[in-house]
Amino acid sequence: MLPAGKSKSKDRLELSTVELAFRIFAALRAHPHINNVLAHISRAQWGEVERAPKRILDMSSVSDDLSPLEENIVDLMVGERGITGRILKPYFQSALHGLLEPSRAERLIRHINILYLELEWKVQHPARSAASAPIEALEEADDARSEPQ
């Protein structure tokens, strides 16, 4: 299954998160470079790779719920770092758009972007948790605005 992005709206199914996750897993495995990278970062634990999209695509997931492998996959889906990131991001997004209605695909892309931003925030603020990140970021912005110039 390669992402086509050309499916007509009526051809798209209302997929459960589990079914969508399996189809995304299959699409990632079908790409030779992405397949090799996933084998490497997972230490060839394909069961873990197969489970990872379920949690990543679950709209109730937050970054604190993710395993290190899932964090790496989110980074590849969003970060555009290195060759793999530049390959995987558009490939993954094309697969989502080929499988889902545009609004659902965009919601999932935004959700994964939020996971990525939470993970990046945790790297920059290691002593704080991701759950407090939005509140603390707002407080820091308020403090900066209230300081005399």
Closest-CA residue to 22 (of 95, 109, 74): 95
Q: Report yes or no on 59 lying in a domain.
A: yes
Q: Report yes or no on 128 lying in a domain.
A: yes
Q: Report yes or no on 10 lying in a domain.
A: no
List the domain range (segments joined by +) for residue 110: 15-146
Residue-wise pLDDT tens digits, 80-103:
889 999 999 999 999 999 999 999
Q: Report yes or no on 8 lying in a domain.
A: no
Residue-wise pLDDT tens digits, 89-139:
999 999 999 999 999 999 999 999 999 999 999 988 877 655 555 666 556
Question: What pTM value is reported for the model?
Answer: 0.77
Number of folded domains in the chain?
1
Give the model's pLDDT for residue 1. 47
Q: How many CB atoms lie within 10 A of CB 106?
A: 14
